A and B are shown apart, each in its own frame.
Chain A
Amino acid sequence: MIWLLALLVALPFACAAISLLVGHSSDAATKGISVGGSALALALACVVAFPRLGDAVPIGRVFASTSASGPALELSLYVDQLSAVMLLLAHTVAFLVQVYSLGYLADDPRYPSYAALVSVFTGSMALVVVADDLWVLLVGWELMGACSYFLIAHHWELEEARAGAVKAFLMTRTADLGLLFAIIVLGVRFDSYRISTIMSAISGGGFARDELWLPALLLSAAVIGKSAQFPLHTWLPDAMPGPTPISALIHAATMVAAGVFLVARAYPLFLSAPGALNVLAIVAAGTMFLGALYALFTHDLKRVLAWSTVSQLAYMFGALAVGAYAAGVLHLLAHGAFKALLFLAAGSVVHAVGSTSMSAMGGLRDKLPDTFLTMTLGLGALAGVVPLVGFFSKDAVIGATLDAATGGRLVWPWVAWLLFSTMVLTAVLTLAYSLRAWLLVFFGNPSPSVAAGLVHESPWSMRVPLYLLTVPTALGGLAVAYPEMILGPGTEDHLLHPWLAVTMSALVGLTAAVVLWLWRRHAGDPWRALVIPHPPVDQVYDVGLVRPVRRLALLVRAGDRDVVDAYADGAGASARGLGWVLRRAQNGNVQGYLMVVVLGAAALAVAAGLMA
């Protein structure tokens, strides 16, 4: 079993290497390797993960370990319930993305490197979720950052794609420093880098409240960057020029999910340091509201989804911050399912229309029936419509926050109340922007190109993943009803809050009525295009970081040119000057040379005569 797990981690990297080797010689082979490899990985993930769900005992193994002084670095893997569900999520979404990319990137000349990078991306996420050593986890974590950089910049001929990739890389890398320092602090404190050892030591007690505030805060910084929370949230919407399947992968299963996963993995640490949880809760409250607000007013379909990811991730952090572990993880899984569905469906729309702007869409209901059906389910799940998975998981999150506000002891009551009220408000806004996007894309007056009949449904390779993803989107609510079947015993058992659910549904229904009324009244966009001033975080970064770094770079360049280069240039110039003197003699006049020879011979003769 454990060797299967090692194989599972290694497989995507091997696939990537092979598809890069054969990629440009055989197109069919690349496609076969990518899709077949991810299918095999998914099968392996099922074999490894399903026996670990429920009340199974976690398995782990140390494959290799260093014996130098200090805590040992270990190549060790560990699978518990959390790792198992994350493995399933990552590999399912990755497999569907690979299948989907067959259609979406059918004519792309850079398909081989794309497929290879998707494989590496998936393998890195798998490494993060099964790593038992903090340094191994860091390797996977950084590999994901690098892969996201390459994949966002897939269309590197576009200026905005390059800028978005650099921004994503720099912002997440900066935040990753938090993880690095947290690893060092934890290693010094516990004399081990093994996550399971550290966490069981913390769970064992003996630590004062907030004694471990430093590593918890450092980890919070890392996950805030990776999961695009305020104030490091701006990279995620700017990463939208990447191919849409990549957005699905980043938003649903890998990159941003890794942040939530890390909090869940290090949960005993956070529980022992509620100060960090307070910070996380406040950050989450601000982020979810901001994300929903910008999703409400943007005109770009992919940006709506990107901002909604920011907002939904904040829900997960909110749940984790108030101690609702199961609710947070289940919302992560639910979000992974429906956000993958949404992005792939949006990719189908973009593929058909050729633009991501919602003003170029409209009236697509009849033209794209499959996309319409699946995206309706996805948006319904996002908005929390009754039988879909988002309803149950969001209800669990909000209910847990209400419990924490009334009787919780983990975070301060006012923080919990702030979080609760923001969650309710954001749920309403979520419904509003989902409904608006739905209406703008599929209803209303068709845009000229749509009306001209140029739009056609996407190929089967793109539609099959959509239908497959509707299954967890529609039926995932069962998992929320029986969390112990997945996350094992000890998770809180009452995730369903009937009264709250009824209230929220009424609120959501009321909002839907208001939005529909506004839509009918304005005949088109439900509300005028308002421009909400964005919090000036990007400007702050620009003034505080980017410009000083640029100045410093200018200074360094000047130093290099005027100081370091001056020595090299000086050496060259002096050699050349010396050469100039010697070159005077080489004037090409043979008689001059002979004169020197004769004079030299005479001088030698005289010297010989004098010495004799």
Chain B
Amino acid sequence: MPLWWPLLVASLLFAIGVYAVLVRRNAVLVLMGVELMLNAVNINLVAFDAHFRDALHGGQTFALFIIVIAAAEIGLALAIVLMVFRTHGHIDVDRLRSLADRDEVEEPIEVSPVMSR
């Protein structure tokens, strides 16, 4: 199998991931974009590992590490998304502008129905 096949798949996957991170407004979908990018990298690692016939299979080992870290990361990130939903009532990243540089607090933080209950 030529090397460029998996590399093509990986680059397409990475591009889809970047697109999702940059464009999607739903925070969960943004996270899915991040996962896509991570897994595109994994494909790259495995493909090069096979191509170079690495005796220690460093590429495959590294891919396993990334899968573990990605699992931890998505757990943390989903917890954050959950908290954002509880405080703001939505998970729309376009409307999460609390970090903007502004003179004074323009809009009070919206209290979600969940929290106010």
State whether A591 touches B100 (Cβ < 8 A). Answer: no
* Shortest Cβ distance from residue B66 to the other chain A in the assembled complex, whole angstroms: 20
Interface status of A69 (Cβ within 8 A of chain B): no
State whether B97 touches A594 (Cβ < 8 A). Answer: no
Contacts A588-B97, A590-B96 aside, 10 further interface pairs with beta carbons under 8 A come to A586-B100, A586-B101, A587-B100, A588-B98, A590-B99, A591-B21, A591-B30, A591-B94, A595-B22, A598-B22
Q: Mark A460-475, 1 if CB is under 8 A from B, else 0.
A: 0000000000000000
* Shortest Cβ distance from residue B31 to the other chain A in the assembled complex, whole angstroms: 12
Interface status of B18 (Cβ within 8 A of chain A): yes
Interface status of A583 (Cβ within 8 A of chain B): yes
Interface status of B23 (Cβ within 8 A of chain A): yes
Interface status of A67 (Cβ within 8 A of chain B): no
**Which A residue's beta carbon lies closest to that of B97?**
A588
Interface status of B82 (Cβ within 8 A of chain A): no
* Shortest Cβ distance from residue A590 to the other chain B in the assembled complex, whole angstroms: 6
**Which B residue's beta carbon lies closest to that of A602?**
B18
* Shortest Cβ distance from residue A596 to the other chain B in the assembled complex, whole angstroms: 10
State whether A594 touches B22 (Cβ < 8 A). Answer: yes
Q: Which of A588, A595, A598 counts the most chain B CB atoms within 10 A?
A: A588
User: For the complex, what is the distance from the CA of A583 to the CA of B97, rounded to whole Å?
Assistant: 13
For A587, what are the chain B residues with a Cβ–Cβ distance below 8 Å? 97, 100
State whether B100 touches A588 (Cβ < 8 A). Answer: yes
| Total chain B interface residues with beta-carbon distance under 8 A | 13
Q: Which residues of chain A have a CB within 8 Å of any CB of chain B?
A: 583, 586-591, 594-595, 598
State whether B18 touches A591 (Cβ < 8 A). Answer: no
User: For the complex, what is the distance from the CA of A583 to the CA of B96, rounded to whole Å?
Assistant: 17
State whether B22 touches A591 (Cβ < 8 A). Answer: yes
* Shortest Cβ distance from residue A9 to the other chain B in the assembled complex, whole angstroms: 63
* Shortest Cβ distance from residue B109 to the other chain A in the assembled complex, whole angstroms: 13
**Which A residue's beta carbon lies closest to that of B21?**
A594
State whether B98 touches A590 (Cβ < 8 A). Answer: no
* Shortest Cβ distance from residue A535 to the other chain B in the assembled complex, whole angstroms: 62
For A583, what are the chain B residues with a Cβ–Cβ distance below 8 Å? 101
Interface status of B93 (Cβ within 8 A of chain A): yes
State whether A589 touches B22 (Cβ < 8 A). Answer: no
Instruction: Mark out the residues of chain B between 95 and 112 whose CB falls within 8 Å of any chain A CB in the assembled complex.
Output: 96-101
Within 8 Å by CB of B18, from A586, A588, A598, lies A598
* Shortest Cβ distance from residue A603 to the other chain B in the assembled complex, whole angstroms: 15
For B18, what are the chain A residues with a Cβ–Cβ distance below 8 Å? 598
Given contacts A598-B18, A598-B22, contact A591 B93 (CB under 8 A): yes
For B100, what are the chain A residues with a Cβ–Cβ distance below 8 Å? 586-589
Instruction: Mark out the residues of chain B between 17 and 48 whose CB falls within 8 Å of any chain A CB in the assembled complex.
Output: 18, 21-23, 30
* Shortest Cβ distance from residue B3 to the other chain A in the assembled complex, whole angstroms: 20
**Which B residue's beta carbon lies closest to that of A583?**
B101
State whether B22 touches A590 (Cβ < 8 A). Answer: no
User: For the complex, what is the distance from the CA of A590 to the CA of B23, rounded to whole Å?
Assistant: 11
* Shortest Cβ distance from residue B33 to the other chain A in the assembled complex, whole angstroms: 10
For B101, what are the chain A residues with a Cβ–Cβ distance below 8 Å? 583, 586, 588
User: For the complex, what is the distance from the CA of A586 to the CA of B103, rounded to whole Å?
Assistant: 12
State whether A589 touches B94 (Cβ < 8 A). Answer: yes
For A586, what are the chain B residues with a Cβ–Cβ distance below 8 Å? 99-101
User: For the complex, what is the distance from the CA of A436 to the CA of B22, rounded to whole Å?
Assistant: 102
A-B complex: 3 closest residue pairs judged by Cβ atoms = A588-B100, A588-B97, A586-B101
For A594, what are the chain B residues with a Cβ–Cβ distance below 8 Å? 21-22
For B99, what are the chain A residues with a Cβ–Cβ distance below 8 Å? 586, 588, 590
- What are 6 A-B pairs with beta-carbon distances under 8 A? A586-B100, A588-B96, A588-B99, A589-B94, A589-B100, A594-B21
User: For the complex, what is the distance from the CA of A598 to the CA of B18, rounded to whole Å?
Assistant: 8
User: For the complex, what is the distance from the CA of A589 to the CA of B94, rounded to whole Å?
Assistant: 6
User: For the complex, what is the distance from the CA of A389 to the CA of B21, rounded to whole Å?
Assistant: 107
For B22, what are the chain A residues with a Cβ–Cβ distance below 8 Å? 591, 594-595, 598
* Shortest Cβ distance from residue A407 to the other chain B in the assembled complex, whole angstroms: 90
For B98, what are the chain A residues with a Cβ–Cβ distance below 8 Å? 588
State whether A589 touches B97 (Cβ < 8 A). Answer: yes
* Shortest Cβ distance from residue A21 to the other chain B in the assembled complex, whole angstroms: 49
* Shortest Cβ distance from residue A236 to the other chain B in the assembled complex, whole angstroms: 59
* Shortest Cβ distance from residue A579 to the other chain B in the assembled complex, whole angstroms: 9
User: For the complex, what is the distance from the CA of A589 to the CA of B101, rounded to whole Å?
Assistant: 11
For B93, what are the chain A residues with a Cβ–Cβ distance below 8 Å? 589-591
For B96, what are the chain A residues with a Cβ–Cβ distance below 8 Å? 588, 590
* Shortest Cβ distance from residue A487 to the other chain B in the assembled complex, whole angstroms: 80
Q: Which of A586, A587, A591, A594 counts the most chain B CB atoms within 10 A?
A: A591
User: For the complex, what is the distance from the CA of A12 to the CA of B18, rounded to whole Å?
Assistant: 86
For B94, what are the chain A residues with a Cβ–Cβ distance below 8 Å? 589, 591
User: For the complex, what is the distance from the CA of A211 to the CA of B98, rounded to whole Å?
Assistant: 86
* Shortest Cβ distance from residue A80 to the other chain B in the assembled complex, whole angstroms: 75
**Which B residue's beta carbon lies closest to that of A586?**
B101
Q: Which of B22, B23, B97, B98 counts the most chain A CB atoms within 10 A?
A: B22
